[in-house]
Chains A and B, each alone.
Chain A
């Protein structure tokens, strides 16, 4: 029912979303066992695990509906330049402030994307979105509660939150890099479109920052870090892929 150009644009969208979720899920799982307190360690690890689940859901649509390779092959056997994740997600976890703020910036966008996708004209995506948007709602609740708590904490926590936002913001704007055929998806009610998601996202983020007593960086003066959607990555992605695929590559045909 969709023409070839639309289907190709759909493949690009789903792959970008899946890669974003896989890479941030892997990154955030690096905190497992090192979280600031036991309860948070468990919560942050679960959230990371959810992200891998969302990536699997998206790769499965590509595989089952759109003729792409199976999810394991897509996740573990592609080259670095085949990944279309934004650069925000590949940066190392840094200190907890960096990871926490990235988690907020990413998940507020993810919630907008999935809430809109739950009415998508492309049914497999709409079905997945309806299934997982509750999980992402918790992820946003988690991130925003933490950011508000630390933004209103002591001088050090406030300063560290602010500097984490300043560090993350240009990278986060890179999430909204447009891709070939995007307009076709918007016209046909399949996807909200990056520009509209970015606008909604800016509104949500500045409201949360205001509540947290933090300053919204001046986004008009920032150069968004684009390139990820076209396969251009920083030096941080390849080592992540090496580690993530280490066990899989020992025996790709193994049954798990």
Chain B
């Protein structure tokens, strides 16, 4: 006897109701890779990461990305990248960043340049 579900996608998989671990069967049948989606609002602007789609290949990922992430507002372009191709740091290495919030001297707010710029502009005008 197969599992009968209100969700036709589950019923269609024909999972044996007696099987000990139906979840594993679901994963095996439905496992697709994920693709990262990057959205560009205007030409010349950067593409920004907006989320993920599941798809069996890159072309289908692009197809789905259009409706998932470009269904409202402005869009001129989309990129998709297989999540496998993203080289990410390990969260265990977060300590490499642990002292950076203290380095205020790298924060542009730390430079008091506005007054100097204003003075320079004034000097230019006076000439």
**Which A residues are within 8 Å of any B CB, using their own CB?**
34, 36-40, 42-43, 46, 138, 141-142, 145-146, 149
Contacts of A39 in B (CB 8 A): 53-55, 64, 67-68
- Asked if A46 contacts B67 (CB within 8 A), the reply is yes
- Asked if B9 contacts A37 (CB within 8 A), the reply is yes
Distance, CA A34 to CA B12, complexed state (A): 12
Residue B63 interfacial (CB < 8 Å): yes
Residue B60 interfacial (CB < 8 Å): yes
**Chain A to chain B contacts (Cβ below 8 Å), 12 pairs:** A34-B8, A37-B9, A39-B53, A39-B54, A39-B55, A39-B68, A40-B64, A145-B59, A145-B60, A145-B63, A146-B63, A149-B60
Question: Secondary structure at chain A's binding surface: helix, strand, loop or mixed?
Answer: helix
Distance, CA A80 to CA B66, complexed state (A): 36
B68: contacting residue among A34, A42, A141, CB under 8 A: A42
Known: A36-B9, A37-B9, A37-B54. A43 touches B60 (CB 8 A): no
- Asked if B63 contacts A142 (CB within 8 A), the reply is yes
- Asked if A138 contacts B66 (CB within 8 A), the reply is yes
Contacts of A38 in B (CB 8 A): 54
- Asked if A141 contacts B63 (CB within 8 A), the reply is yes
Minimum CB distance partner of B66 in chain A: A138
Minimum CB distance partner of B55 in chain A: A39
Contacts of A36 in B (CB 8 A): 9
> Taking the nearest CB of chain A, how far is it from the CB of B73, in angstroms?
14
Contacts of B57 in A (CB 8 A): 149
Contacts of A149 in B (CB 8 A): 56-57, 59-60
Residue B71 interfacial (CB < 8 Å): yes
- Asked if A43 contacts B9 (CB within 8 A), the reply is no
Minimum CB distance partner of B57 in chain A: A149
- Asked if A43 contacts B8 (CB within 8 A), the reply is no
Minimum CB distance partner of A149 in chain B: B60
Contacts of A37 in B (CB 8 A): 9, 30, 54
Distance, CA A43 to CA B64, complexed state (A): 7
Minimum CB distance partner of A141 in chain B: B63
Distance, CA A119 to CA B58, complexed state (A): 35
- Asked if A42 contacts B56 (CB within 8 A), the reply is no
Minimum CB distance partner of A34 in chain B: B8
Most buried by B among A39, A43, A142: A39
Cβ contacts B49-84/A at 8 Å (1 or 0 each) = 000011111011001101110010000000000000
Minimum CB distance partner of B67 in chain A: A43
Distance, CA A38 to CA B52, complexed state (A): 13
> Taking the nearest CB of chain B, how far is it from the CB of A145, in angstroms?
5
Cβ contacts B82-118/A at 8 Å (1 or 0 each) = 0000000000000000000000000000000000000
Contacts of A42 in B (CB 8 A): 64, 67-68, 71
- Asked if A43 contacts B63 (CB within 8 A), the reply is yes
Distance, CA A39 to CA B71, complexed state (A): 12
Contacts of B55 in A (CB 8 A): 39
Distance, CA A138 to CA B78, complexed state (A): 13
- Asked if B71 contacts A46 (CB within 8 A), the reply is yes
Distance, CA A9 to CA B25, complexed state (A): 58
Contacts of A145 in B (CB 8 A): 59-60, 63
> Taking the nearest CB of chain A, how far is it from the CB of B19, in angstroms?
22
> Taking the nearest CB of chain A, how far is it from the CB of B53, in angstroms?
6
8 Å CB interface, B1-43 against A = 8-9, 30
Distance, CA A142 to CA B57, complexed state (A): 14
Can you add 10 more A-B contacts, CB < 8 Å, to A40-B64, A46-B71? A34-B8, A37-B30, A37-B54, A39-B55, A39-B67, A42-B71, A43-B64, A46-B67, A145-B59, A145-B63
